[in-house]
Structure formats: C-alpha cells, structure tokens
C-alpha cells in the first residue's frame, strides 16, 4: 500500500496495523475493504460560513449576523471575499478524506459593484461558485438568508404580520429555490436548499397560533412551484430558541414536522440541527421516526455547549449515536449530512477540518459496526449479549481503518495536517488586514 502516513511518507507499520484490523473485523463478519469502498460515496456538506463568521459579501452589513445567531471571537484571517473563502475551503478540503459538498447562503452572492437585494439575486450572482464547484468536482447546497437584513429587524420574516415584509421574504424564498435548482442542474447533483427563519419572540407571546398560520401560508407560496428533484431538494429547519427569541420560535420542531408530513405533493424534507433542541435532548432517536414517514432527512451537525452555541463538532457520543442510527437503519442514501458551526476564536481552517473529520470518523466507525450480530441478539431476546457486544465493539481497532481511509484518499491521517495549516496561516491568513 502506498499513500500518506502521519509523517507524510508511506509507512510499513501502518500497513501491518491495518492488516491486523482487517482480520479482527473480518472475524465479526465485517469486510473493511467493502466499507472503505462505501466511504467513497459518503458526502458531508461543508458550510461556507465557518470561513467568514457568517458575514457574507453584501455591502453595508459587516459582521453582525442577527436573527439569534452569533459567531464569537476575533481570530485573524477571516475570508473577506469569494476568492479568499474558496481558497480557504480548498485548503480545508485538502485535509479531509473523500469527495464532499459545499453549502452556501444567499449572502454569499457576488453581485459585483452593484448591490442586489435579497429579492433580486439570481443564479448569475453565484456563477463564480458554480464554476469553481464544477472545476473542483464538488456538489453545492444552498440556504436562503432570512437574517442580517433590515427587513428582518422586527424579528419576523415569513411569519410577519406586515404584508410588505412577508412578501419580500417570500420572493427571497422563491428566488433561492430557483438558484438552488440551477446549481443542481449545472453540477449534476441535487442541491439541498435548506430554509431556516429566525422568527420568534423574546417574551411570552399573546398569540402563538397566528404567526404559525402565516408561516404556513408563506411556505405554501414558496414551495408551490415544482422543480425537478434531481436539481433541488427542499428542506425546513426547526429551532427551539435563539438569542432574543427565548420564549417563542415560530418555526418549531412540531410546526415543521406537521408541515412536512402534511405537504406530500411538495416533498419537503425536515432538517434537524443538533443544537436546536433542549440541551440534553439528542436527535439520534428522531431519525428513524422521520424515516418511517419521509424519504429523506437533512442533518445540521453542530455542537451546543449549554445552549445552541454552534461550537466545532467533535467525536462525541451524540455524533456517534447519529451515525449508528443511520447505519442501523441502512439509510446513508437517505440522510444528508451537513455541518453548521461557526467559531471565530480559532483558526477557521482548523475548525472546518476538525468538525468534518470528526463527522467522517463517526460515520466510518458506524459503518464498521457488526450490526447484524447486535440485531441477532436482539431478535433472540438476549439483551445482555446485545449490551455486551455493543461494549466490545467500542474497542475494535477502528483507528487503523481511519488511517487507511485517509491515506487512500491522499490525506494526512494523523496530526500532520496541523503543520500545513500553520504554514497557510503564516503565508496567507496572517497577511489579511
Ligand atoms: C440557525 C440555524 C441555521 C444557521 C445557518 C447559518 O440557528 O442553525 O442553519 O446556522 O443557516
Ligand atoms: Zn442549522
């Protein structure tokens, strides 16, 4: 085996360790080679907004995201335009095994020296992104941006009682579907177009229902037009609370669950953001409930610390449980993995790489699980054995297979990539004003 080791050169020891791991897994009926082949089809959608702290390229709205989300920190090197952001994403991707996707927000439109408002943007404003994605063989995903805009300052967008505000955001929602469909068409892979709105209230509302009925109508208008599913896949993202919307969020979990399930003809999927539920509430158990009724599901993998803080994802029980649930439901083709975090206090390339590699580790770990053995014990009613096996499987020689996955993808397996990030920081990031 050739490839790259953590030292940056091929290593015989790595081959030996992998050989041992292959045998151990084979003794449990798991074919590591087959799993590595399957990993080639796994795509994670990298969120572009980690690279510039959710700022976007519109003129006049520097810095503040608003809408109850906030990137904290002031680490130097934030990308200031499309070219810098693309360059940074490419750098991050070079340390991430596999072929992936990039998720954009409407605020990453490049409108030249002419300002185009949210209800005026079209696919031409994303030409640089689309051309770049074609060139790099990357899929693109998309998100309308219902925040960082004066028409969102009231705290209401699609559920606004002010008709002018509401219709403006409906037009934005429609434009974004069109842009996403064009991206999917040009790139030959469906673009996931995810809708999240910040609408809500700081304090106890007197009338929760009316806003939800307005939102329902707005969504019906946005999703009325049919697009080819091979171009765009629509999704709606719920939330429990945000900064300034602690008491009420119009687009709650139950709201969107009802919406998606009652709109069969629109074929809208749900998006679960791991930070958008009660702090101790996991989303792993929700996956199979959704898959019992819907074809597809989008995940925004994030890490909340005490609240929806959008910390960089790490390899924790929550992420592992999610990957295991998808594996056990044999649903890797139905569940879309996307990232959603923004940490401005550390090197932003490091943030992307840590988060994405952690999610990929969780997916690989789950794929290597001898699930059939667990199901057998369960079906026999031997829950003691099921528990014992689950514990045993936690210490199977997974790291050797991860290293192999990295090296066969021409990516540095161990911490060696950090030296490369340091170089990039010295040569590129530190020179940004
Ligand atoms: C906000 C949502 C949403 C955003 C991004 C920027 O709470 O999670 O997905 O983070 O769209
Ligand atoms: Zn999200």
Instruction: Give me the CATH number covering residue 66.
Output: 3.20.20.150
Residue after which a domain boundary falls, among 366, 389, 406: 366
How far is Cα 6 from Cα 222, in angstroms, rounded to an integer? 49
How far is Cα 311 from Cα 159, in angstroms, rounded to an integer? 29
For the entire predicted model, the pTM comes to: 0.96
Over residues 176-203, the mean pLDDT reads: 98
Residue 52 Cβ contacting ligand 1 at under 6 Å: no
Higher pLDDT, 14 or 385: 385
Question: How many domains are contained in the chain?
Answer: 2
Residue-level pLDDT at 113: 84
Answer yes or no: is 264 within a domain. Answer: yes
Residue after which a domain boundary falls, among 366, 396, 414: 366
CA 204 to chain centroid, in Å, comes to: 31
- Examine the domain organization and report whether 384 and 358 are in the same domain: no
Helices then strands, counting H and E runs in the chain, come out as: 14, 12
What's the gap in Å between 44 CA and the centre of ligand 2? 14
How far is Cα 225 from Cα 239, in angstroms, rounded to an integer? 25
Residue-level pLDDT at 3: 47
Answer yes or no: is 20 within a domain. Answer: yes
How far is Cα 159 from Cα 251, in angstroms, rounded to an integer? 9
Half-sphere exposure of residue 296, counting CA atoms within 13 Å on the CB side? Answer: 18
- Examine the domain organization and report whether 272 and 403 are in the same domain: no
Torsion of CA 396, 400, 402, 404, to 10 degrees: -140
Domain that holds residue 11: 1-30+368-433
Q: Which of 46, 69, 148 to mutate to test the pocket of ligand 1 (most atoms within 8 A of CB)?
A: 69
Over residues 220-227, the mean pLDDT reads: 98
Please identify which residue in the block is written with the tokens 């009316």.
210
Residue 303 Cβ contacting ligand 1 at under 6 Å: no
- Examine the domain organization and report whether 2 and 103 are in the same domain: no
Answer yes or no: is 37 within a domain. Answer: no
Ligand 1 atom showing the smallest separation from residue 145 Cα: 11
- Examine the domain organization and report whether 385 and 356 are in the same domain: no
Residue-level pLDDT at 68: 78
Answer yes or no: is 168 within a domain. Answer: yes
Residue nearest to atom 5 of ligand 1 (CA): 340
Provide the 3-class DSSP secondary structure of residue 12: helix
- Examine the domain organization and report whether 78 and 117 are in the same domain: yes
- Examine the domain organization and report whether 272 and 291 are in the same domain: yes
Q: How many angstroms separate the Cα of 74 from the Cα of each of 46, 71, 344, 346?
A: 21, 9, 6, 8
Answer yes or no: is 430 within a domain. Answer: yes
First-to-last alpha carbon distance for the chain, in angstroms, is 44
Structure tokens at 279: 């702090």
Q: pLDDT category, 60, cuts 50, 70, 90?
A: low
- Examine the domain organization and report whether 212 and 175 are in the same domain: yes
How far is Cα 189 from Cα 205, in angstroms, rounded to an integer? 42
Answer yes or no: is 36 within a domain. Answer: no
Answer yes or no: is 314 within a domain. Answer: yes
How far is Cα 157 from Cα 210, in angstroms, rounded to an integer? 14
Residue after which a domain boundary falls, among 366, 382, 411: 366
Write out pLDDT tens, residues 141-179: 999 999 999 999 999 999 999 999 999 999 999 999 999
Over residues 256-285, the mean pLDDT reads: 96
Residue 197 Cβ contacting ligand 1 at under 6 Å: no
**Contact (Cβ atoms closer than 8 angstroms) between residue 398 and residue 365:** yes
What's the gap in Å between 395 CA and the centre of ligand 2? 32
Answer yes or no: is 35 within a domain. Answer: no
Q: Tell me which residues are annotated as active site.
A: 196, 237, 239, 273, 276, 300, 308, 310, 340
Residue 340 Cβ contacting ligand 1 at under 6 Å: yes
- Examine the domain organization and report whether 286 and 352 are in the same domain: yes
Write out pLDDT tens, residues 326-340: 999 999 999 999 999
Phi, psi of 416 (to 5 degrees): -55, -25
Phi, psi of 178 (to 5 degrees): -65, -45
- Examine the domain organization and report whether 414 and 273 are in the same domain: no
Half-sphere exposure of residue 338, counting CA atoms within 13 Å on the CB side? Answer: 30
Q: pLDDT category, 9, cuts 50, 70, 90?
A: very low
Residue nearest to atom 10 of ligand 1 (CA): 340
Residue-level pLDDT at 8: 46
- Examine the domain organization and report whether 290 and 238 are in the same domain: yes
Residue 53 Cβ contacting ligand 1 at under 6 Å: no
Q: pLDDT category, 12, cuts 50, 70, 90?
A: confident
- Examine the domain organization and report whether 278 and 374 are in the same domain: no
Residues above pLDDT 90, as percent of the chain:
93
Q: pLDDT category, 59, cuts 50, 70, 90?
A: low
Mean pLDDT of the chain: 95
Residues 6+ apart with CB under 8 A from 102: 45, 46, 48, 89, 129, 133, 138, 139, 140, 141
Judged by phi (left if over 0) then psi (alpha if -120 to 50, else beta), residue 99 lies in beta
- Examine the domain organization and report whether 19 and 157 are in the same domain: no
């Amino acid at each position: 085996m050739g490839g790259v080791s953590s030292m940056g050169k091929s290593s015989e020891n790595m081959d030996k360790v992998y050989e041992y791991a292959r045998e151990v897994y084979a003794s449990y009926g798991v074919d590591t080679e087959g799993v590595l082949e399957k990993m080639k089809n796994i795509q994670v959608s990298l969120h572009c907004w980690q690279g510039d702290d959710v700022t976007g390229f519109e003129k006049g709205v520097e810095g503040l995201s608003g809408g109850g989300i906030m990137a904290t920190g002031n680490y130097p090197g934030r990308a200031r335009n499309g070219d810098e952001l693309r360059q940074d994403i490419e750098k991050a991707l070079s340390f991430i095994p596999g072929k992936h996707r990039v998720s954009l927000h409407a605020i990453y439109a490049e409108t030249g020296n002419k300002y185009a408002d949210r209800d005026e943007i079209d696919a031409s404003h994303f030409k640089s992104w689309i051309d770049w994605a074609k060139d790099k063989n990357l899929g693109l995903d998309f998100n309308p941006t219902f925040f960082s805009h004066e028409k969102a300052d009231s705290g209401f967008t699609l559920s606004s009682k002010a008709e002018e505000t509401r219709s403006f955001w409906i037009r934005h929602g429609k434009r974004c579907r069109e842009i996403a469909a064009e991206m999917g068409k040009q790139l030959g892979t469906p673009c996931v177009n995810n809708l999240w709105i910040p609408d809500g209230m700081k304090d106890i509302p007197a009338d929760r229902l009316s806003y939800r009925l307005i939102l329902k109508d707005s969504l019906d208008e946005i999703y009325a037009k049919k697009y080819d599913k091979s171009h765009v896949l629509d999704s709606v993202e719920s939330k429990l609370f945000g900064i300034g919307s602690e008491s009420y969020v119009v687009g709650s979990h139950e709201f969107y669950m009802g919406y998606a399930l009652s709109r069969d003809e629109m074929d809208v999927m749900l998006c679960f953001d791991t930070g958008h539920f009660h702090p101790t509430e996991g989303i792993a158990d929700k996956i199979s409930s959704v898959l019992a009724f819907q074809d597809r599901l989008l995940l925004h993998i994030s890490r909340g610390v005490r609240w929806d803080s959008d910390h960089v994802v790490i390899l924790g029980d929550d992420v592992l449980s999610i990957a295991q649930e998808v594996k056990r439901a044999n649903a890797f083709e139905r569940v879309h993995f996307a990232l959603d975090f923004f940490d401005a206090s550390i090197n932003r390339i490091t943030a992307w790489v840590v988060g994405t590699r952690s999610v990929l580790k969780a997916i690989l770990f789950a794929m290597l699980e001898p699930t059939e053995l667990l199901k057998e014990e369960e079906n026999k009613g031997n829950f003691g054995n099921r528990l014992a096996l689950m514990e045993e499987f936690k210490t199977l020689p997974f790291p050797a297979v991860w290293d192999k996955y990295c090296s066969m993808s021409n990516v540095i397996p161990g911490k060696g990539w950090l030296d490369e990030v340091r170089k990039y920081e010295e040569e590129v990031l530190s020179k940004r004003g």
